[in-house]
């Protein structure tokens, strides 16, 4: 453990030096990387490998996620230091919803850390970071309300897409964080249920804005259909995981939610496949599917969280009476989505490394200090 901590300190030091030499253009949605990593460890990773959260391999993955979290944090701190945080992350009424990736990613990461490293000092650290994450969520909810007012003035939300549903994703992740980190008391259960209900209200309102946008205004599938639209089912899937963990709904209600989520998944992914074919025909394979885009992490997350939702539902059913066809369908979906998640994750990592290598480096301009000239009083 001492060697790991020493290596972590060295890595953090190198990342700190390297980050401050970079441009402060960290995408607001970069936190989706953490969302993908945390859900992958809790779902597809354990399902495929059979390794528990306490295994050494899982611990290595968690440490890598911690390093990524620190790197992203340094990028956001750089934007604050250069007085560019508002222009990059808050100026766009729709784009500011991407802050939800940082909240959800941090919440899922903290749950993963707490599960993988069950020790007192880790719990104390996670507890402090959890309180800070809750504070960030309150800050985010303020900007969500402001964005909804701004969107209402933007010709009925002409530019609204799936990124707005990150408000629901962030809220449900906070409910999971509270329940897992702060205990399972009756008061905490009530708070979590209220948060889950608030997340569903946000989903209904914001999904309605999305549907209105695509019905009311003309749009082109190849150009304007955003990858973030997969949040249509991803937000419901994380809601399903939250209600299962907190035991907030009955088994029948959770099953209905799963079927609704599956139906939306099929519709959205069919549209995404049509979009991919149209983009390949128009721009070629390299531009269409071989170029790094931070929004592609959203698809991996939504498939991963639906995989986890399905797996938790199978375990929840347990000895409950379910039809053999439904059980076989859910088991098959778990296997298929797990392997698709792994393949997409590998491909996205390759693209991100390639994009990172070609990222421009901006050297700091040295500040020329003007020598101070002492003035003399004239008598």
Report mean pLDDT in 10-residue bins for the chain, 379 residues.
Answer: 45 48 67 90 83 81 91 86 83 89 94 86 90 95 91 72 92 95 88 95 92 74 64 94 91 93 93 82 73 81 93 79 75 91 89 71 43 45
Contacts 24+ apart (CB under 8 A), 138-146: 140/99, 140/100, 140/103, 140/167, 140/170, 141/167, 143/90, 143/96, 143/99, 144/97, 144/202, 146/93
CB 346 within 8 A of CB 45: no
Q: So what's the pLDDT on residue 351?
A: 83
The closest alpha carbon to 305, from 246, 250, 232, 255, belongs to: 232
Q: What is the rounded CA–CA span in Å between residue 30 and residue 36?
A: 11
Give residue 30's pLDDT: 84
What pLDDT is stored for residue 276 in this prediction?
79
pLDDT value at residue 17: 46
Q: Kindly report the backbone phi and psi dihedral angles of residue 8, in degrees, each rounded to the nearest multiple of 5, phi listed first.
A: -60, -40
Cα–Cα distance for residue pair 113/68, rounded to 1 Å = 14
Q: Give the model's pLDDT for residue 157.
A: 64
pLDDT at 378: 45
Are the C-beta atoms of 254 and 316 separated by less than 8 Å?
yes
Measure the CA angle with vertex 61, ends 85 and 18; round to 5°: 40
- What's the half-sphere exposure (Cβ side, CA atoms, 13 Å) at 21? 10
Task: List, in sequence order, every residue forming a beta bridge with 361; answer none if it has no partner.
Answer: 22
Contact, 274 vs 207, CB < 8 A? Answer: no
Token duo for residue 379? 């008598």
CA-based torsion, 274, 275, 281, 284: positive or negative: negative
Evaluate whether 115 touches 60 at the Cβ level (below 8 Å).
Answer: no
Confidence (pLDDT) at 26: 75
Place of tokens 């409910």: 175
């Amino acid at each position: 453990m001492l060697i790991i901590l020493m290596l972590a300190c060295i890595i953090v030091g190198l990342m700190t030096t390297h980050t401050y030499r970079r441009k402060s253009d960290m995408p607001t949605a970069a936190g989706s990387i953490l969302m993908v990593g945390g859900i992958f460890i809790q779902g597809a990773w354990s399902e495929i490998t059979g390794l528990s959260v306490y295994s050494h391999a899982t611990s290595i993955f968690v440490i890598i996620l911690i390093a990524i979290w620190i790197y992203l944090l340094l990028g956001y701190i750089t934007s604050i230091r250069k007085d560019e945080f508002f222009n990059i992350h808050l100026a766009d009424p729709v784009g500011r919803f991407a802050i939800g990736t940082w909240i959800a990613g941090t919440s899922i990461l903290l749950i993963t850390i707490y599960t993988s490293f069950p020790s007192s000092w880790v719990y104390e650290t996670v507890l402090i970071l959890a309180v800070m994450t809750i504070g960030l969520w309150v800050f985010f909810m303020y900007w969500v309300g402001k964005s909804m007012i701004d969107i209402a003035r933007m010709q009925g939300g002409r530019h609204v897409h799936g990124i707005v549903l990150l408000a629901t994703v962030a809220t449900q992740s906070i409910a999971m964080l509270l329940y897992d980190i702060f205990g399972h008391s009756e008061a905490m259960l009530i708070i979590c249920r209220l948060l889950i209900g608030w997340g569903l209200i946000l989903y209904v309102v914001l999904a309605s804005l999305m549907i209105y946008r695509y019905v009311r205004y003309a749009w082109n599938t190849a150009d304007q259909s955003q990858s973030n639209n997969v949040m249509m089912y991803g937000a419901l899937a994380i809601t399903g995981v939250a209600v299962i963990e907190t035991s907030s709904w009955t088994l029948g209600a959770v099953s209905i939610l799963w079927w609704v989520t599956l139906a939306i998944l099929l519709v959205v992914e069919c549209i995404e496949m049509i979009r991919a074919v149209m983009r390949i025909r128009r721009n070629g394979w390299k531009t269409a599917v071989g170029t790094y885009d931070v929004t592609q992490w959203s698809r991996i997350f939504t498939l991963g969280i639906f995989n986890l939702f399905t797996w938790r539902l199978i375990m929840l059913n347990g000895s409950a009476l379910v039809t053999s066809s439904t059980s076989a369908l859910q088991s098959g979906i778990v296997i298929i989505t797990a392997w698709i998640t792994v393949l997409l994750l590998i491909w996205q990592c390759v693209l991100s490394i390639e994009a990172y290598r070609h990222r421009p480096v901006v050297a700091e301009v040295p500040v020329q200090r003007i020598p101070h000239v002492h003035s003399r009083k004239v008598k």
